[in-house]
Amino acid sequence: MHPLLRLLACVALSMAVIGAACGGGASEESTAAKTAAPVTNPVDPATASAITGVVTLQGTPPSSPPINMSSDPYCMKPGAATTPAFVVSDGGLENVFVYVKDGLGTVKFPVPTKPVVLDQKGCTYDPHVFGIQVGQSLDIVNSDETLHNVHALPKANREFNRGQGLKGIKSTTTFTVPEVMVPFKCDVHKWMNAWVGVVEHPFYAVSGKAGAFALAGLPPGTYTIEAWHEKLGVQTQQVTIGAKESKNISFIFKV
Amino acid sequence: MLYLFAMLVAAFTGILIFAGGLVTSTESGLSVPDWPNTYGYFMFFFPLEKMVGGIRYEHTHRLIASTVGFLILVLAAWLWRAETRRWVRRLGYLALAAVITQGVLGGITVLWYLPDPISIAHASLAQIVFCLTMTIALVTSPGWKRAYATNGPAPDDLMLQRVAAVTTGLIYLQIVVGATMRHTGAGLAIPDFPLMFGQLIPPHWDSKIAIHFAHRAGALIVSLAILATTGHVLYHHRSRSELRRPALLLLALLATQVTLGALTVLSKKEFIINSLHVVTGASVLVTSLVLTLRAHRARFASEVRRADASASADTRIGRLAGDHA
């Protein structure tokens, strides 16, 4: 073989080895998930319980001035969006990720086939805070007529940064290990950020209007429930629920 | 002409460093996720109207970098064709290799999500490229070629040669520490100035505070070194304009740089101030390098003698240069 060809072959082989070594992550795991036996829901509906509650904010939230979107003329169109970190309605704090942190043991739950959608709309992420199960598809969509890059910065999962230059473009990804929370950001538009809580089960919620949340379909047991807020940190509490019981709890964040 | 072109290349390299500073200061390094393409476009065909937000900084940096790469390629080719001194031709090849490496580092730092070591290496090598282009501009200049003969023989001042060389080395080290501070997010690890958490020495430490402190301590050391060099020049060689001018410029740049460093902290890293701090640091480095090389000019005396011999032997074609050593 010609020495130059031999050199090129060595380079190609090295790149393939490096690629295989560094590749890992989502695609391999998703292949494994596809080949694994399907998991049925282990919770008996006859005994399923629920934890509901509200997240409230004590004190005056920082003011949320309109975001300066002047760096992209397109983004100026939708109107004056404000930072979604402190959204308070009826005394309740929205965008708090509440989930079962501990207490489910090693029980496996089926991965939903319906993907979670993260949209880029009006140069903001929608939703701002959301949850997803390990292995569940996340469809990232660009509904804007401008460019975005979707940059996930996990610590346990694999970082990615994808450009979405056209309206309607969609890319799909999965997370391979639990991680609360994984931040998303757009490096083109500094104000754009979102957070996803990656968990191994379906017992998570994001507080909505009046700070309300609900974790339904839980088996009886004692659980550690954690509430996460992007600026105010985390709070946890222990909750014990019996069969067909519904318990109401509350989290109070102070500013 | 070659000298003027080399100056142009050096100037573009300085602009490129400023553009790179803007990318880091605006945290736009990953706003274009692909490389060497830009959002799937061939770099030079990327539509102007799509240059929004952070893309403006990152893509502009790539365009200027490509221009500098091309200019250095032309410079290296020009040196290869027209330069008689082998070591100067080699400087051209070295600059070309450095700028290619720099481009690759810039690419992989994007593709690998800005790992600190690669980003720091990218920032540090940029200074080397700037130094190389400035050195080429200097040694192809008419003043260098005639060895500043209008002022008499170049001084062979060993003390000046040493202190200037040490100063240049210290400035480079300081820039590397600065790059480390920028890329590890330690720029505001100490949030006040001139004190540190209200004291002369930080009351508590972590890795970022240590890096930031090292940069401030480095600034003090570099300032003393520059004062020593310029003081020596102004005391012993005031009449030699080729040494006095860069010395005075160095003093002015030092004052500007220290001010910009303070303002960077006090303005909480306002991106223009921050970027000016980067490019002024690079200017301090190359000015000190020019002073150092001119201080060492006497070592190239044989070059002058040979040039003179060559010129007298071949006056018909008016050839002035000539040293293959």
Token pair for residue B4?
A: 């003027």
pTM: 0.83
Residue B321 lies in a domain: no
Same domain, B36 and B161: no
Residue B68 lies in a domain: yes
> What does chain A come to in residues?
255
Q: Which residues pair with A252 in a beta bridge?
A: A56
Same domain, B94 and B234: no
Chain B partners within 8 Å of A72 (Cβ): 52-53
Judge whether B246 is closer than 8 Å to chain A, CB to CB. Answer: no
Chain A partners within 8 Å of B51 (Cβ): none
- Across the range B246-254, mean pLDDT stands at 98
Q: Which residues pair with A222 in a beta bridge?
A: A240
Residue B325 lies in a domain: no
Q: Where are the domains of chain A?
A: 47-254
Same domain, B95 and B164: no
Q: Looking at this protein, which amino acid is placed at residue B24?
A: T
Q: Which of residues 2-31 of B touch A (CB under 8 A)?
A: 26-31
For A86-144, how does the pLDDT look when each residue is reduced to its tens digit (9 = 90+)?
A: 888 888 999 999 999 999 988 889 999 999 999 999 999 999 999 999 999 999 999 99
Same domain, B103 and B161: no
- A22, A68, A76, A149: best mutation site toward chain B, by most B Cβ within 10 Å? A149
Decide if B52 and A187 are in contact by the 8 Å CB cutoff: no
For A45-63, how does the pLDDT look when each residue is reduced to its tens digit (9 = 90+)?
A: 889 999 999 999 999 888 8
Residue B324 lies in a domain: no
Same domain, B64 and B181: no
C-alpha count within 13 angstroms, C-beta hemisphere, residue B51: 14
| Residue B234 belongs to domain spanning | 146-316
ipTM: 0.78
Same domain, B108 and B189: no
For A8-47, how does the pLDDT look when each residue is reduced to its tens digit (9 = 90+)?
A: 344 344 434 333 333 333 333 333 344 555 667 788 888 9
Chain A partners within 8 Å of B56 (Cβ): 71
Nearest CB among B34, B39, B54 relative to A187 is that of B54
For B23-55, how does the pLDDT look when each residue is reduced to its tens digit (9 = 90+)?
A: 999 999 999 999 999 999 999 999 999 999 999
What pLDDT does residue A24 have?
36
- A142, A147, A153: best mutation site toward chain B, by most B Cβ within 10 Å? A147
Number of independent structural domains in chain B: 2
Concatenating the DSSP letter of every residue in B168-205 gives: HHHHHHHHHHHHHHHHTT-TTSS-SSSSBTTBSS-SS-
Handedness of CA B81, B82, B88, B92 (dihedral sign): negative
Chain B partners within 8 Å of A162 (Cβ): 33
Q: Three-class SS of residue A121?
A: strand
List CB contacts of B216: < 8 A, sequence separation 6 or more: B190, B196
List CB contacts of B29: < 8 A, sequence separation 6 or more: A187, B23, B58, B109, B110, B114, B119
Token pair for residue A9?
A: 């072959």
Residue B51 lies in a domain: yes
Residue B80 lies in a domain: yes
Which single residue is written with the structure tokens 């240590």? B210
Decide if A189 and B28 are in contact by the 8 Å CB cutoff: no
CATH number corresponding to A47-254? 2.60.40.420
Same domain, B206 and B62: no
Residue of A219, A215, A205, A240 whose CA lies nearest to A48 = A219
Decide if B32 and A149 are in contact by the 8 Å CB cutoff: yes
Separation between Cα atoms, residue A239 and residue A249, nearest integer Å? 8
Residue B208 lies in a domain: yes
Decide if A189 and B53 are in contact by the 8 Å CB cutoff: yes
Token pair for residue A211?
A: 């700070």
Number of neighbouring beta carbons within 10 Å of residue B214: 17
Concatenating the DSSP letter of every residue in A209-230 gives: GGGEEEEEEEPSEEEEEEEEET
Number of neighbouring beta carbons within 10 Å of residue B1: 8
Separation between Cα atoms, residue B17 and residue B106, nearest integer Å? 12
